[in-house]
Structure 1
Amino acid sequence: MKVEIWSDIMCPFCYIGKRKFEAGLAKFAHADTVEVQWHSFELDPNMQHKPGQTIHELLAERKGISVAQGKQMNDHMAGIAAEVGLQYDFDRVVPTNTFLAHRFLHLAAAQGKGNEAEERVFAAYFTEGKDIGDLDTLAQLGADLGLDAAEVKATLQTDAFAQQVRYDEYQAQQINVRGVPYFVFDDKYAVSGAQPAELFQEVLEKVWEENHPAPTLVAGQDSAACAVDGNC
Structure 2
Amino acid sequence: MKVEIWSDIVCPFCYIGKRRFEQALQQFPYANRVQVVWRSFKLDPGYQPVPGRSTHESLAHKKGISVAQAKVMADQVSRLATEVGLQYDFNRAVPANTFLAHQLIHLAGQHGRQGAAKEHLMAAYYTKGQNLNEIDTLVQLATEIGLDAEEARTALTNGIYAEAVRHDEHQAHQMNVRGVPFFVFEGKYAVSGAQPTELFAEVLEKVWEELQPTEPAPAMVANGPVCGPEGCSVS
Give the TM-score, by structure 1 length.
Answer: 0.92
Aligned partners of 2:190, 2:138: CA distance in 1, in Å? 31
Kindly report which structure 2 residues correspond to 1:50-129, keeping only aligned pairs within 5 A, or say none. 50-129=50-129
Q: What secondary structure, in the 3-state scheme, does the structure 2 residue paired with 1:68 have? A: helix
Poorly superposed stretches of 4+, deviation over 2 Å: 213-220
Which structure is larger by alpha-carbon Rg, 1 or 2?
Answer: 2
Aligned partners of 1:45, 1:160: CA distance in 2, in Å? 18
Q: Report what 2:229 is aligned to.
A: none
Aligned partners of 1:63, 1:171: CA distance in 2, in Å? 27
Provide structure 1 residue ranges, at least 5 long, that are not aligned to the other structure.
224-232
Aligned partners of 1:151, 1:136: CA distance in 2, in Å? 13
| Aligned residue pair count | 221
Q: Report what 1:2 is aligned to.
A: 2
Aligned partners of 1:101, 1:200: CA distance in 2, in Å? 27
Match of 1:111, as an amino acid? H
User: 1:150: Cα distance to partner?
Assistant: 2.5
Q: What secondary structure, in the 3-state scheme, does the structure 2 residue paired with 1:86 have? A: coil
Q: Report what 1:146 is aligned to.
A: 146
1:19 aligns with 2:19: yes
Aligned partners of 1:8, 1:82: CA distance in 2, in Å? 19
Aligned partners of 1:157, 1:62: CA distance in 2, in Å? 29
Match of 2:208, as an amino acid? W
Q: What secondary structure, in the 3-state scheme, does the structure 2 residue paired with 1:43 have? A: coil
User: 1:155: Cα distance to partner?
Assistant: 1.9
Q: Report what 2:189 is aligned to.
A: 189
Q: Report what 1:36 is aligned to.
A: 36
Match of 1:68, as an amino acid? A
User: 1:109: Cα distance to partner?
Assistant: 0.8
**What do the CA deviations read for 1:42-61 (whole angstroms, capped 9, x no partner)?**
11001001111000001111
Match of 2:27, as an amino acid? K
Provide structure 2 residue ranges, at least 5 long, that are not aligned to the other structure.
227-235
**What do the CA deviations read for 1:53-111 (whole angstroms, capped 9, x no partner)?**
00000111122221111111101111110010001000001001110111111011111
User: 1:214: Cα distance to partner?
Assistant: 4.4
**What do the CA deviations read for 1:131-174 (whole angstroms, capped 9, x no partner)?**
11110000000010011122211221102001100000010011
Match of 1:33, as an amino acid? R
Aligned-residue CA RMSD (Å) = 1.4
Aligned partners of 1:86, 1:98: CA distance in 2, in Å? 20
Give the TM-score, by structure 2 length.
Answer: 0.91
Q: Report what 1:45 is aligned to.
A: 45
Aligned partners of 1:172, 1:15: CA distance in 2, in Å? 18
Q: Which moved more, 1:1-10 or 1:151-160?
A: 151-160
Aligned partners of 1:115, 1:156: CA distance in 2, in Å? 18
Aligned partners of 1:162, 1:20: CA distance in 2, in Å? 29
Q: What secondary structure, in the 3-state scheme, does the structure 1 residue paired with 2:158 have? A: coil
**What do the CA deviations read for 1:105-139 (whole angstroms, capped 9, x no partner)?**
10111111000000000000111001111100000
Match of 1:202, as an amino acid? E
